[in-house]
Amino acid sequence: MRPIGVHTSIKNSLINSINEAVELKCNTFQIFLHSPQVWQIPEFEQEIIDEFKSLRELHALNPLIVHASYLINLISSNPKTIASSRYLLKREVLMADLLGADYYVIHLKDNKDMDKNEIFAKTREGFSKIGKLEKCKILIENTAKSKITSKIPDLIETFNNINNENLGGICIDTCHLFAAGYDISSDDGISKFIEESNKYGFDLIKLIHLNDSKTSAGSEIDRHEHIGKGHIGIKGFENFLNIKELSNVPLILETPKKSLQDDLKNLSTVREILKKLES
């Protein structure tokens, strides 16, 4: 069965994320290790780590994805920010590896005052501080607006230029893809995405963040919407999820959430689409 899950909460306890995933009948899930808007990251007690790993195995939740903090900026013009970012990146990735995570997903920052080569060099240096990981692989996520990660050729170029042993591939977010100009609600947009992915390598896509978009194609604005309620629409997701090269890639929903009911509705919509495509 294709892995389908959502971003679950570690509020009050790391174990809460597994409880939510089980309640939603997911077979994969994604978490933050701490609030993505603060620099502090907690140390989890070994007892909690062991319980987390044991419960995850019990409920067969695979893969486990950890999402990076939004504060990490390896190419900031401020040396202090770079130092803090390198430290937090290393702490997060090592913790993800300790928890047995399969993937660690990161948005790489752009810098309008730097050319690509300088960005690649600084990012490469930041990644080099991590050290060799046991299991976890880092995925670079596409973005709605960036000269290094919004277009498929640029995203793959960035991946190839960082060239770190811990890099495992890329994550495609459908909202970001749409906002970056790939109108996957249309046949032409799907064809453009398939053509570019074929040229640069479908095999690098290890994860999909499945989100609708509040804004129109090419807006370069990242605003997630419930599945089928945005500009991509049900037909767009039917087209995208029907791409055979992506048929086994895990799906994680990051749709708006006020309660678990929102996740249930979005998961139900995606499951209905997949059921229709399989029939």
Q: Nearest-CA neighbor of 150 among 232, 72, 82, 221? A: 221
- Residue 167 reports pLDDT greater than 90: yes
Quick one: pLDDT at residue 15?
Answer: 97
Q: What is the DSSP string of 142-161?
A: P-SS-TTTSSHHHHHHHHHH
pLDDT digits (tens, 9 = 90+) for 86-111: 999 999 999 999 999 999 999 999 99
Strand, coil or helix: 46: helix
What is the percentage of the chain residues whose pLDDT exceeds 70? 100
pLDDT band at 9 (very low <50, low <70, confident <90, very high): very high
* Interior/surface letters 52-67, b for 16+ CB within 10 angstroms, e for the rest: beebbeeeebebbbbb
pLDDT at 274 over 90: yes
Distance, in Å, from the CA atom of 12 to the CA atom of 67, rounded to the nearest integer, reads 18
What are 277's two structure tokens? 């495509």
Alpha carbons 94 and 130: distance in angstroms, whole number: 8
Checking if the pLDDT of 1 tops 90, the result is: no
| Contact status, residue 24 vs residue 267, Cβ threshold 8 Å | yes
Tokens describing residue 227: 């599945």
User: What is the spatial distance between Cα 121 and Cα 164, in angstroms, rounded to a whole number?
Assistant: 12
Task: pLDDT band for 272, please (50, 70, 90 cuts).
Answer: very high
Which of 235, 269, 103 is closest to 172 using CA atoms? 103
> Please, what are the domains in the chain?
4-278 (3.20.20.150)
Identify which of 71, 86, 170 has the alpha carbon closest to the alpha carbon of residue 128: 86
Q: For residue range 143-158, list pLDDT tens digits in order.
A: 999 999 999 999 999 9
The pLDDT score that the predictor gives to residue 217 is 98
For residues 125-130, give the mean pLDDT: 96
pLDDT, position 259:
94
Residue 279 has pLDDT above 90, yes or no: no
189-199 mean pLDDT:
96
- The pLDDT of 226-245, averaged and rounded, is 97
Q: Tell me, what's the pLDDT at 218?
A: 98
13-37 pLDDT, tens digit each: 999 999 999 999 999 999 999 999 9
- Write down the pTM of the prediction: 0.97
In DSSP notation, 235-268 reads: HHHHHHHT-GGGTTS-EEE----SSHHHHHHHHH
Question: What is the rounded CA–CA span in Å between residue 66 and residue 92?
Answer: 9
Q: Does 75 score more than 90 pLDDT?
A: yes
Distance from chain centroid for Cα 54: 24
* 153/93 Cα distance (integer angstroms): 26
Angle at CA 119, nearest 5°, toward 117 and 121? 70
| Nearest of 18, 14, 9 to residue 43 by alpha carbon | 14
Does residue 135 have a pLDDT over 90? yes
Does the pLDDT value for residue 201 go beyond 90? no
Q: Residue 138 belongs to what H/E stretch?
A: strand 137-141
